[in-house]
Structure 1
Amino acid sequence: MKLHGTMSVKNKNLYIGGVKCENVAKKYETPLYIFDEKLIRKNCREYVNYFKVKENNNKVAYAGKAFLPRYMCQLIKEENLYLDVVSGGELYTAYKSQFPMEKILFHGNNKTIDEIEMGIKLGVGIFVVDNFYELDLIEEICERYNTIQDIYFRITPSIEAHTHEYIKTGQIDSKFGFALTNGDLYEALEKVKEYKNINLIGLHAHIGSQIFEVDPYMDAVDIMMNLIKKIKENYNIEIKEIDLGGGIGVYYTKHDTPKTIKEFCESIINRVEKTCEKLKINKPVLIIEPGRSIVANAGSTLYTIGSIKDIKDIRTYVSVDGGMTDNIRPSLYQAGYECAVINKIGLDKINQVTVAGKCCESGDILITDTDIMEIQSGDILITTSTGAYGYSMSSNYNKIPKPAVVFVKDGKSKLICKRQSYKDLISLEL
Structure 2
Amino acid sequence: MNQVGETTARALLRRLAVEQAECRVPSLTAAIVRDGELAWFGGRGRIGGLPPTAETQYRLGSITKSLVAAVVLRLRDEGRLDLLDPLDKHVPGTPFGDVTLAQLLSHTAGISAEPPTDWWERTPGLPAADLLARLEPGHRKHRPGRRYHYSNTGFALLGEVVARLRGVPWLRAVQDEVLDPLGMTGTTARPRAPHASGYAVHPFADVLLPEPEHDAQAMAPAGQLWSTPLDLARWAAFIAGDTGGVLSPATVAEMREPATVNDGDAWTSGYGLGLQLTRHAGRRLAGHTGSMPGFQATVWADPADRIGVLFMANITSGLSDSLLTDLLAILDEHEPRLPDEWRPAAADPDLLALTGLWHWGSTPYVLRLLPQRGLSLTPVSGKGRISRFVPQDDGTWLGLDGYYAGETLRVGADHLDLNTFIFTRTPYDPSAPVPGGVEEWQA
Shared fold, TM over 0.5: no
Kindly name which structure, 1 or 2, has the bigger radius of gyration based on alpha carbons: 2
TM-score range with shorter-chain normalisation?
A: under 0.3
**TM-score, normalized by length of structure 2?**
0.25
**TM-score, normalised via structure 1 length:** 0.25
